[in-house]
Amino acid sequence: MSKKLIISILIAGSVGAVRAQTTAFELEKFKIQEVGLKSTNASLLNTNDFRNLGNTSVFYNQKSGDFKHPLLASESHFGGFETERFQELKNWKLYGRFGLDFGKDKKVSNTTQLDPLRLNPYIVVDSLGGDWNKQNYALETKIASPILNERIAFGLGFDYKVSTGARQRDPRPLSTSNNLALTPAVTYFLNEQNAIALNGRYEYFVEDLSVSNVNKTTVHNMYKLIGVGEYVGSSPTFIGTSEISRRYNGNKFGGALQYVFKGESFRFFGEGLVNHNAERAKDGNTNPQEAGKHEYWEYGANVEAVYNHDLSMHRLGFSWNQKNVDNTEYHQYQDVDTRQFVTLFSAVFNTNLVTNSNLSYAFTKWKGEAINWDLGLNVQYAGWDNKYATNQSQQTVDRMGYDLRFKKYFQFRDASVFAVELSPGYSHHIDSEFRYDEKSYSTNFVAKDILYPTNAFLVADYFNVGASVQYTFKPSKNNTQLYVKLSENYIKPTVSNEYFTKSQYRLNWQVAVGLLTF
């Protein structure tokens, strides 16, 4: 059995078993009918009406346009491969997903790191721009044991992500990150309809960054940020003949509690979670120096409810996530004899309260066993309350977003399907406060080139239009179905400010060729 399990995970979605009367969107139907599939608790797979279903695709993705965060690329070109599968083997329930994408980010300004938008404020920036070559890998598995004594089931989740990136221009950053998460879990069945579940979580993160020059006769300015527009010493760090190196190393511990109700026509999933994350940034290798500590408590809740009635279905969803962040700054000196850095003083200088919540409703109309059309509405709230203690700097933004989604499926006699989706939306800020004191002894480069345009982007109001078309061919002899999908998302600001105009936009489009397996 272990051999079959490993094969199922590694080739997830590559082949499908023959079965009768399948439809092109059985995987999509399975995902909208079930509850709790997105939970990190792997043992909850036993609460679903499990199906052997998979999807494998290759894609090309492109992003362009200047309405964006100032540390993101003006243009991106990426190709990739994705596969996922739900599979049952001798009462063991398995889920596997693997993704790979690689390509180039073009015209990336100021950043020297793979992901400059992580919550950790201790990032390194420069005053130049250039193109990045990047690769991203992601592997996720969930394994649920058979139900023992008709009461209890165990599970294990595994999530591993690896990313690498480099810029081929001085100063030349090379950045690599690894993220591993393990989630042991258990589900207890109170009866045929009710179950409670619990999972733990351990997550390990490490990122290595090095910046060097090929032309060592030229000196460049680097800035080690420590919070809202602030950086070490309020002066640049110079890089010439020697390189700059930094390591980020963190651990997250936590868990979640779940409840599932599985009735004949009504299903409910509820989850509450809490995690604690602590991550340190250190400069240098031989005698490392503390660059900062990034720490937060994370709280969250997720609710899903599905009601089936005749040839229609109602689905209600709610999610809430909040991170209470403390960032500690260290003041150190280097001992002349030992060469080790000694901490004189450390304190929380920067705090951030980040909140995201979403309320959604969807109505699905069936046509026999197939989906006829689907209509949905999402309302999102995002809050960002970033403060720096020393000079009372503040960057507070509260936003609301609204998205409407409609998808129509056209079924043909040969079992092929054409689907078209349209999803317009609007996002606006409802409140904001921004304070920053420029330095008389500094060029204020970070404030003028990064902080100010970032704040202007966070408070910008915009509308977006998403759309997709997909044609799924008739089933093959082994009951797999090939499809071609084209999707796009167009974003445009509704008002102009000092850094963005109404004429700017952001376009993200993707073409994919895939195979559905049953």
pLDDT tens-digit map of 414-442 = 999 999 999 999 999 999 999 998 888 78
Structure tokens at 505: 């936009």
Helix (H), strand (E) at residue 329: strand 312-334
At 517, the amino acid letter reads: T
Confidence at residue 100, expressed as pLDDT on a 0 to 100 scale: 98
Confidence at residue 408, expressed as pLDDT on a 0 to 100 scale: 98
Contact between 101 and 80 under an 8 Å Cβ cutoff? The reply is yes
Residue matched to tokens 């792997």: 42
Both ends of the chain: CA-CA distance in Å? Answer: 21
Domain 23-517: give its CATH code. 2.40.170
Confidence at residue 14, expressed as pLDDT on a 0 to 100 scale: 42
3-state helix, strand, coil in the chain (%, to 5): 10, 65, 25
| Residue among 209, 295, 300, 197 nearest 252 (CA) | 295
Confidence at residue 310, expressed as pLDDT on a 0 to 100 scale: 87
Characterize 470-482 residue by residue with b for buried, 16 or more Cβ atoms within 10 angstroms of its Cβ, and e for exposed: bbbbebeeebbbe
The pLDDT profile of the chain, 518 residues, written as one tens digit per residue, is 344 444 444 444 444 433 334 467 899 999 999 999 999 999 999 999 999 999 999 999 999 999 999 999 999 999 999 999 999 999 999 999 999 999 999 999 999 999 999 999 999 999 888 999 999 999 999 999 999 999 999 999 999 999 999 998 999 999 999 999 999 999 999 999 999 999 999 999 999 999 999 999 899 999 999 888 888 877 889 998 889 999 999 999 999 999 999 999 999 999 999 999 999 999 998 899 999 999 999 999 999 999 998 899 999 999 999 999 999 999 999 999 999 999 999 999 899 999 999 999 999 999 988 999 999 999 999 999 999 876 678 999 999 999 999 999 999 999 999 999 999 999 999 999 999 988 887 888 999 999 999 999 999 999 999 999 999 999 998 889 999 999 999 999 999 999 999 999 999 999 999 999 98
* Residue 172: strand pairing partners: 212
Contact between 304 and 268 under an 8 Å Cβ cutoff? The reply is yes
Q: How far apart are CA 198 and CA 200, in angstroms?
A: 7
Helix (H), strand (E) at residue 10: helix 2-10
In eight-state DSSP terms, residue 21 is S
Q: How far apart are CA 433 and CA 34, in angstroms?
A: 42
3-state secondary structure of 66: coil
| Residue among 108, 114, 124 nearest 237 (CA) | 124
Confidence at residue 369, expressed as pLDDT on a 0 to 100 scale: 85
For residue 425, what are the CA distances in angstroms to 181, 473, 506? 33, 31, 14
Confidence at residue 518, expressed as pLDDT on a 0 to 100 scale: 86
Q: Where are the domains of the chain?
A: 23-517
Q: How far apart are CA 153 and CA 169, in angstroms?
A: 53
